[in-house]
Structure 1
């Protein structure tokens, strides 16, 4: 059988379907790149990445295939000989593409591409996701609707099946107790990333670091248009602030499951997000000429809050009321939970084969990758009280300076390091063999204060034990123990570096040198954690910094 892909997004939809033949030694899966698309540049590398066998287009045309599976009716796919199956490569058929096909037809349901010439291979099965899509097609092209069947959406099946892995995906991303805010951009001139190119950077630098994590999902066509290098360079300020750029194959769906809220344009990614769970949705760019009135996405955008400004993002998320997301998903997807099984039955019937008794068509989504870049220097704004401090950390240099500059030693530039008010060090990952030379906690803090005379305090960070804080001019270092906060049966742990900033600000503001234990409160957003401060023991100051593994949040 032959998987025929014109673009990367079409290929990824085909890969979601491939497991319907799992475990069947009678089936050989081949791939070919259908020429003619502006977005075909990433297809061959994507096939290679999954280890698929590629057939050159000239060879694919010369053969007769038992089954030709495509996720787009456009281009030269009809030239391939064999039994043709057409799958959707998006959800909802929400937009029409200007200057392409029929002006008023949804992309993917356009009779111009579905009604094939007499000498072309007919479509034996056109699988759609909802009865409304079949009705729309039958109303404009009854002949094209004859072999169309409502199957459901195979990609949605993977998302629904993988939803129980939400906590695992959040752990892989390093989200912790923060809210994961995801931006979703489709492709084309009306997409989020084209109409609001500065939005990712503004959100990444303005959202409080200890309250929010940011991720971006970009349509594969936009990646193909720009190339990954160009895309990441354009997004560099946001990526440097810790934003996650989800990969276009599988990972985007894992990130959707992990999300707490989604900011979306008119792309169909929002429908997959809404189908899994009714969580907050915020819209941008409702006034899209290519958005079809009455389509699931058009109705959804009319009924969810719209983002007025970066500063209003928290209010927009809170303004979402349950209902519109799930309603839109119901209007886009039928047979939720059984689409792959239904498709398997249809495909084996076309092949004239009995499906094997072993093998499952369902593959859970893999863990997403954490951010490859992260903020390592912060302008720390501190509202100090007698009981502690409220802390807001934002990447350094992206806004007004705060109470102090907190910098991670060994991860930030020398210029930022020498400007730090609080310099902290995270232990390196544990090596396979013991290190020949490593710092003790107290040894490093003393060294840092001597090496950087402008620094007022130095701290050695530990993830699960007490941190060591050495304040210039104080007679002894302190241990700082951050207690987890119980939240509905879970334990929420904040970044110890944030608590160290709170303690540092409290000590400097009150000009105190406590000789006895003190209980303080560190506030980050709506969360408050207890922090215990006391003079350090000799054993705590002598703790080996190379012995603790730390994963930066």
Structure 2
């Protein structure tokens, strides 16, 4: 609904009020986005008492026909791909179901705005009486996505993606959704995908938030969230994640067709039976793309998904890309009996996504070969074979701090208080080794390119991390991953003599690392 309202931009004649049709099982969070946008909300009883010049809805269900005024059913999702057997006419998509579209055998909506000509043909097939009131306008939500593509790097920066591959899981709602059928999949993927090569996000249908609550979802997904899973907030953030994504794993929900319209590689993970409409754009795409049966197969399926152009499937669901608001404005002002203002109509910008939680502990697999070290980091709950546990002090949990062979601490900005007391890097590393007997290496991360590393019974070392440079970009590895590489290399070379230069392979990056006796600048660095 909010994606459509820019059609009235700059028109002081139009006042917008929102109300909630009673009877929805998912009304608990329905007004959260409206509250954030400061929209005016009225009660259903008040809405019934008024005469309205135009009534906009994204769903034909409920007692909408009791409202007074011309009614418009707007595009909702990527076409009509699902049928719900427990309501309306069995095996018919509710968006095309005469049970909802007719009142006493007559259409109650003045306009059915549709995203594609095929949807108009299906409307005529399933509910012929409404076909004359259908119009293909495109999809305003898709246009908002397309308009945000230029911000892809900004979104990835906000997410801290770097050179990693962002894989987005998308789950609709209901018993055949990805989260309902395979609730363990996010955790399984996190336990298998190296943290420095992949970033994982989960997009849920807003009904899932309403049904379960953000509180319970955060509990259910707690271990995955602590391991770095990004859980999209229930409204606009899903779109920013699709723009930022490198690949999408999906059930039969509409979100995947929006991803396909962006040209994102898509892997199917739908194993339901009854909800998907045969022959729909979603069904055709799921039949053609690689299918994820086991979490461990994802890495091997991604190349096949990347080789397949998914935009053809989206073309069967969305027409008139970039033109939806223009066509909608013409149709809506026609119903209002007004001439639109002579101002441009553009989709609103998407907000930048929120920064995700950073993992505070990693199970680290390290392979040392001469002067080269390969490092892969996983959540502590991984089943992968690992070399050591590394944890951030003091943010990691007590159990991980006590068990970690490597403890690191990131330098903080200077306190604004006039009264301060801070550890030096030398003092902190000595203290941590004394306080945690199981720790073998303590590291103060001073900057993205500098660390002070102290091993037990050894002198402190200055560590310099070279960024990866090309003609166009500068990329940096996480210094905490480099600390684990240094820990593994020093353990494999107990008789080494400084200085030394080693090569660390961390995810897609290969960085040079110089080890030398610590200088006074690093020893005295205030943390």
**TM-score band w.r.t. shorter chain:** over 0.9
Identify which of 163, 171, 182 aligns with 2:157.
171
Identify which of 382, 385, 391 aligns with 1:407.
391
Could you tell me how far 1:17 is from its partner in structure 2?
0.7
Secondary structure of the residue aligned to 1:256 is helix
Q: Deviations over 1:132-174 (max 9, x none)?
A: 0001111232211111100000000100000110000011111
Residue 368 of structure 1 corresponds to 353
Identify which of 255, 267, 290 aligns with 2:241.
255
Structure 1 alignment gaps of length 5 or more: 1-13, 546-553
Secondary structure of the residue aligned to 1:43 is coil
TM-score (norm 1): 0.92
Matched, 1:499 2:499: no
Secondary structure of the residue aligned to 1:72 is coil
| Superposition map of 1:215-234 within 5 A | 215-234=201-220
The CA RMSD measured in Å over matched residues stands at 1.8
Residue 9 of structure 1 corresponds to none
Structure 2 alignment gaps of length 5 or more: none
Could you tell me how far 1:88 is from its partner in structure 2?
2.0
Identify which of 421, 429, 453 aligns with 1:469.
453
Identify which of 304, 322, 328 aligns with 2:289.
304
Residue 491 of structure 2 corresponds to 508
Residue 451 of structure 1 corresponds to 435
Residue 10 of structure 1 corresponds to none
| Superposition map of 1:273-312 within 5 A | 273-276=259-262, 278-312=263-297
Q: Is the 8 A contact 2:191 2:384 kept in 1?
A: no
Could you tell me how far 1:225 is from its partner in structure 2?
1.3
Q: Which has the higher mean CA deviation after the structures are superposed, 232-241 or 130-139?
A: 232-241
**Change over 3 Å in CA distance of 1:453–1:220 after alignment to 2:** same
Matched, 1:419 2:396: no
Residue 4 of structure 1 corresponds to none
Could you tell me how far 1:471 is from its partner in structure 2?
1.2
Could you tell me how far 1:228 is from its partner in structure 2?
1.4
Q: Distance in 2 between matches of 1:113 and 1:322?
A: 41
Could you tell me how far 1:287 is from its partner in structure 2?
4.6
Q: Distance in 1 between matches of 2:206 and 2:30?
A: 10
Matched, 1:237 2:223: yes
Q: Distance in 2 between matches of 1:434 and 1:281?
A: 54
Secondary structure of the residue aligned to 1:30 is coil
Could you tell me how far 1:310 is from its partner in structure 2?
1.1
Q: Distance in 1 between matches of 2:260 and 2:165?
A: 17
Q: Distance in 2 between matches of 1:430 and 1:242?
A: 27
Q: Deviations over 1:359-410 (max 9, x none)?
A: 5342111000122x33211111111111121111112243356222111001
Matched, 1:113 2:97: no
Q: Deviations over 1:151-200 (max 9, x none)?
A: 00000010000011000001111111111111000111111001101111
Q: Distance in 2 between matches of 1:72 and 1:505?
A: 58
Residue 485 of structure 1 corresponds to 468
Q: Distance in 2 between matches of 1:242 and 1:351?
A: 49
Could you tell me how far 1:487 is from its partner in structure 2?
5.2
| Superposition map of 1:295-374 within 5 A | 295-358=280-343, 360-371=345-356, 373-374=357-358
Q: Deviations over 1:207-228 (max 9, x none)?
A: 2111111100011112211111
Secondary structure of the residue aligned to 1:66 is coil
Identify which of 499, 502, 519 aligns with 1:537.
519
Could you tell me how far 1:430 is from its partner in structure 2?
4.5
**Change over 3 Å in CA distance of 1:488–1:350 after alignment to 2:** farther
Residue 441 of structure 1 corresponds to 425
Q: Is the 8 A contact 1:300 1:324 kept in 2?
A: no
Secondary structure of the residue aligned to 1:320 is helix
| Superposition map of 1:109-258 within 5 A | 109-117=96-104, 122-258=108-244
Matched, 1:71 2:71: no
Q: Distance in 2 between matches of 1:356 and 1:99?
A: 44
Could you tell me how far 1:420 is from its partner in structure 2?
1.8
Residue 5 of structure 2 corresponds to 18
| Superposition map of 1:67-106 within 5 A | 67-106=54-93
Secondary structure of the residue aligned to 1:383 is strand
Q: Is the 8 A contact 2:462 2:517 kept in 1?
A: yes
Secondary structure of the residue aligned to 1:530 is strand
Q: Distance in 2 between matches of 1:463 and 1:538?
A: 16
Identify which of 46, 51, 55 aligns with 2:33.
46
**Change over 3 Å in CA distance of 1:109–1:463 after alignment to 2:** farther
**Change over 3 Å in CA distance of 1:288–1:324 after alignment to 2:** farther
Q: Deviations over 1:332-377 (max 9, x none)?
A: 0000011111111211121122222235342111000122x33211
Q: Distance in 2 between matches of 1:123 and 1:397?
A: 54
Secondary structure of the residue aligned to 1:23 is coil
Secondary structure of the residue aligned to 2:53 is strand
Q: Distance in 2 between matches of 1:195 and 1:397?
A: 22
**Change over 3 Å in CA distance of 1:434–1:180 after alignment to 2:** farther
Q: Distance in 2 between matches of 1:472 and 1:68?
A: 72
